[in-house]
A = this chain, B = another copy of it.
């Protein structure tokens, strides 16, 4: 009447193995046979637990967004919401640089391989913007930002930082400008475009740099 139950610890263990293979040996190493070899089992484990390779990839995308969310929530709210926002941008970038392959799968993997993200997965991705939108709301109510829609502001922050990080990971940044310089300029520019004063934005961005320890350890 009742079936055999599998070890509930094997599923996250498989995700861990897959994440490690992806981080250490690149996307080529993400094969059912290699994962099975690392887990001392057969290729069937991937199918019984995730229904296939794409299911495992989707689980890894969830894991990637969880790491991003964790990094973003490590930014504490202070009385300088613009500095908080700048630190959120830095946290986003640091998370991407810490998990480059995972980041590539999260945002660029849907079209190249056969992996199609479901609408629920995308919704998970959009939840990530919650932290940013909340901070944007504080920036708006504090009067630092021009009156407007918090979600739209958060969106602009996301797209700009995401684009910068994507090009940085792809090696498309133009010498002699290093990534750090571009990040500073991008952050200040974003705050100004949202309505903040130039000098105040520069100071807040500089202040966020002093709080880099909040997000580096997380």
The residues of A with any CB-CB pair to B shorter than 8 Å are 26-28, 100-101, 104-105, 107-114, 117, 122, 125-126, 129, 151-152, 155-156, 158-164, 166-167, 169-174, 177, 181-182, 185-186, 188-190, 192-194
Which has the most chain B C-beta neighbours within 10 Å: A111, A117, A190?
Answer: A111
Tell me if B177 and A151 are in contact (CB < 8 A): yes
Given A129-B174, A152-B181, A189-B193, 15 more A-B residue pairs with CB atoms under 8 Å apart are A26-B111, A104-B108, A104-B112, A108-B109, A109-B112, A117-B171, A125-B172, A158-B167, A159-B160, A159-B167, A159-B186, A160-B160, A162-B167, A166-B166, A190-B193
Tell me if B107 and A156 are in contact (CB < 8 A): no
Number of chain copies forming the complex: 2
Contacts of A159 in B (CB 8 A): 160, 163-164, 167, 182, 186
Contacts of A126 in B (CB 8 A): 172, 174
Which has the most chain B C-beta neighbours within 10 Å: A152, A160, A177, A190?
Answer: A160
Alpha-carbon separation in the docked complex, A117 to B167 (Å): 13
Tell me if B169 and A111 are in contact (CB < 8 A): yes
Contacts of A162 in B (CB 8 A): 163, 166-167
- Shortest CB-to-CB span from A126 to chain B, Å, is 5
Also in contact, A107 and B166, with CB within 8 A (given A129-B174, A160-B160): yes
